[in-house]
Amino acid sequence: MNDVTPANIRKLIGQGEYLSAYDAAISQTDNEEFHYLAVLSLARSGATTRAQKLFNEFGFADSDNEDYAALGARLAKDLALSSTNKTERNALFEQAAGQYHDVFNRTGGYYTAINAASLYKLSGDTTLAVELAKQTLTLCEQEPSGQGLGEYYRLVSMAEALLVLDDLESAKSLLNSAREHVENDYAAMATTRRQLALLIPEQQTSFLSALTPPGVIHFCGHMISNTNDSGRFRPQAEQVVKESIVNNLAELDIGFGYGSLANGADILFAEALLERGARLHIVLPFDMDEFIEVSVKPAGAEWTERFYRCIDKANFVSYSCDGSYLGDNTLFHYATRLAMGLALQKSRNLQTSVKQVAVWDGETSTGAAGTYADIQSWQLQDHDAILLSATDGKSLSPPDKQTIISAELDSSQRRAHAMLFGDVKGFSKLNDEQIPAFVEQLFGALAVALKPFNSSVLSTNTWGDGLFVVFKDALSASQCAIALQVAMQNIDLASAGLPPHLALRLGVHYGPIYELEDPVLHRTNYFGAHVTKAARIEPITPEGEVYVTRQLAAELALENNSGFTTEYVGVVPTAKKYGDMPMYLLRTS
């Protein structure tokens, strides 16, 4: 963002671009409003731990500003919602309610009053809930009606108060009125839906549909041929396929699209998204100039011009790999999976629908890249999809679920795997007398934690206190990383004769790497720029934590019910001046 202002950051938050909003806000170090927006962005993204840390650092708990002070109560509420134990959850709801109540007593605003009322009701304290709900209605009714987000929040606060008082019909009427004032602040809608859904029976949540943000799609499809006589998507079908795309986006009320930008289907999707004012997120698999040569130019100069127009208007353009194509078709699928994960993250942040919409010729194929592989990757996780015929644009039935058949790769081609690097903070201060205990007790415990994952482990290596493990997939690597930290925490360091300051740091990345015979070690080993990238994460990871990259976080998002959440940390300078990278903290759900 070139013009970093509170208004522009709020626009990003409203569009659900929480991570970009945080990066912009945290870059401004001397302004309280930017600090507030940074914490709010993290809270909205689900990065509760990091948000709580910054909330405390910025000293907002004692602020006289209602919004600033109430952030702490909001984070306490998020902790309550993450608890699966009913007794603990109710206690946390009561604690968060008390924090909102304290801020209300200082500031007198209806925002903190209604949040305290709802949380008291959820904790079982109906007396305080009813009292504060009535105060909320009084405060809101005393304010003159208006326009825009201010009026939206006034109306939804009144609706929430009525829900606390069990008046669903009156609440429904107010929500319908509030929708007219939301000004496409989709994050506000998502937050309201999430809050109100806690107060009403699940079978009666349908009236919240008035506050549903626009949907999200992952788009993909065949490239277009340069002749009407051959190809899976031929030029004579372009217009009818385009019309089908436009109609489907309208019917689905799509506001966000994620995908690549090859000629043919990708560009048709991008153009249709831009025409309807949706936000376009492009993920390219490698260098743009090389991508144009490989995936755009073959269909003719017109498609290259259309490519550049889409790039110029896209809201975000990112790359899954920094390097070159080198003939590795798996890089296309790697980029596609990143786009899929980002689309799923967006839909979860905004509490809205997500679908894959693909232009497909209906033919199955082998190989780990291509439209069929993309469809299967999405379908294997039971995500919704709409398949449009590359011949006439009509809907196609989904294919049977199949494990993707990877084409046979030679040693000159890369495969996408997960890489874990770890080291033990404090190792350099050990003396020789302590080294045997370190190896036997500490590394021994880590070896036991690794054992259940043997079927997913491709390679392991250690040096000094360093640990390097290559996994087949991101989910196994994440599960193992958490298991390693648990094992480390359970070691009785004192009994082993080791100092208490020892702590494990782990970094995990997912990317395409070479599998080659190592002439020094005389065994298969793994090499490539993404190995180097993975190695630069662990040194910047806090002790006792697991940091993961955007690519690995997207892979976990693609996994249905992975059991993990990834909290955004920010763009972090990596070790040895490798560059800045977006980083996430790995947590179990």
Identify the pLDDT of residue 83: 84
pLDDT: which is higher, 459 or 183: 459
Mean pLDDT estimate for the chain: 92
Q: How far apart are CA 513 and CA 410, in angstroms?
A: 12
pLDDT cut 70: percent of the chain above it: 98
Question: Quick check: helix, strand or coil at residue 129?
Answer: helix
Q: Would residue 406 count as lying in a domain?
A: no
Span 391-410, mean pLDDT?
Answer: 74
pLDDT: which is higher, 404 or 380: 380
Strands 385-389 and 354-360: parallel
- Could you tell me the two tokens for 449? 């934690």
Write the pLDDT tens digit of every residue in 176-191. Answer: 899 889 888 898 998 8
Are 567 and 498 contained in the same domain?
yes
Q: Would residue 405 count as lying in a domain?
A: no
Looking at the predicted structure, is the pLDDT value of residue 231 above 90?
Answer: no
Are 178 and 311 contained in the same domain?
no
Q: How far apart are CA 407 and CA 8, in angstroms?
A: 46
Q: Would residue 238 count as lying in a domain?
A: yes
Are 426 and 520 contained in the same domain?
yes
Strands 254-259 and 279-284: parallel
Interior/surface letters 84-95, b for 16+ CB within 10 angstroms, e for the rest: eeeeebbebbbb
Please tell me the pTM assigned to this model: 0.89
Q: Would residue 328 count as lying in a domain?
A: yes
Type of residue at 254: I
DSSP letter at 500?
Answer: T
CATH number of the domain where residue 323 is located: 3.40.50.450
Type of residue at 29: T
CATH number of the domain where residue 119 is located: 1.25.40.10
Identify the pLDDT of residue 574: 76
Are 435 and 476 contained in the same domain?
yes
Q: Would residue 195 count as lying in a domain?
A: yes
Decide if 130 contacts 165 (C-beta within 8 A). Answer: yes
Write the pLDDT tens digit of every residue in 132-154. Answer: 999 999 999 999 988 999 999 99
Which residues form the domain of 306? 215-396
Type of residue at 35: H
Looking at the predicted structure, is the pLDDT value of residue 57 above 90?
Answer: yes
Decide if 163 contacts 171 (C-beta within 8 A). Answer: yes
Span 318-331, mean pLDDT?
Answer: 90
Residue with tokens 């840390």, as numbered in its chain: 53
pLDDT band for 323, please (50, 70, 90 cuts): confident
Last residue of a domain, one of 169, 185, 211: 211
Are 328 and 181 contained in the same domain?
no
How many domains are contained in the chain?
3
Are 129 and 169 contained in the same domain?
yes
Q: Which of 23-32, 61-70, 498-507 has the lowest mean pLDDT?
A: 23-32
Q: Nearest Cα to 49, choosing from 578, 458, 570? A: 570
Are 442 and 530 contained in the same domain?
yes
Write the pLDDT tens digit of every residue in 257-309. Answer: 999 999 999 999 999 999 999 999 999 999 999 999 999 999 999 999 999 99
Reported as type and span, the H/E element at residue 567 is strand 564-573
- Could you tell me the two tokens for 480? 């193992």
Residues in the chain: 589
Write the pLDDT tens digit of every residue in 473-482. Answer: 999 999 999 9
Please report, in angstroms and rounded to a whole number, the separation of the first and last CA atoms in the chain.
32
Last residue of a domain, one of 176, 211, 246: 211
Are 138 and 229 contained in the same domain?
no
Are 440 and 379 contained in the same domain?
no
Span 449-453, mean pLDDT?
Answer: 97
Identify the pLDDT of residue 34: 95
CATH number of the domain where residue 554 is located: 3.30.70.1230
Are 143 and 115 contained in the same domain?
yes
Are 207 and 231 contained in the same domain?
no
pLDDT band for 403, please (50, 70, 90 cuts): low
Q: Would residue 408 count as lying in a domain?
A: no
Neighbours of 113 (CB within 10 A): 28
Q: How far apart are CA 68 and CA 35, in angstroms?
A: 9
Identify the pLDDT of residue 21: 93
Cα torsion through 4, 6, 8, 14, rounded to 10:
140
pLDDT band for 407, please (50, 70, 90 cuts): very low
Reported as type and span, the H/E element at residue 216 is strand 215-221
Are 189 and 73 contained in the same domain?
yes
Largest separation between any pair of C-alpha atoms in the chain: 79
Q: Would residue 407 count as lying in a domain?
A: no
Q: Would residue 403 count as lying in a domain?
A: no
Looking at the predicted structure, is the pLDDT value of residue 364 above 60?
Answer: yes
- Could you tell me the two tokens for 210? 């008035």
Last residue of a domain, one of 211, 237, 270: 211
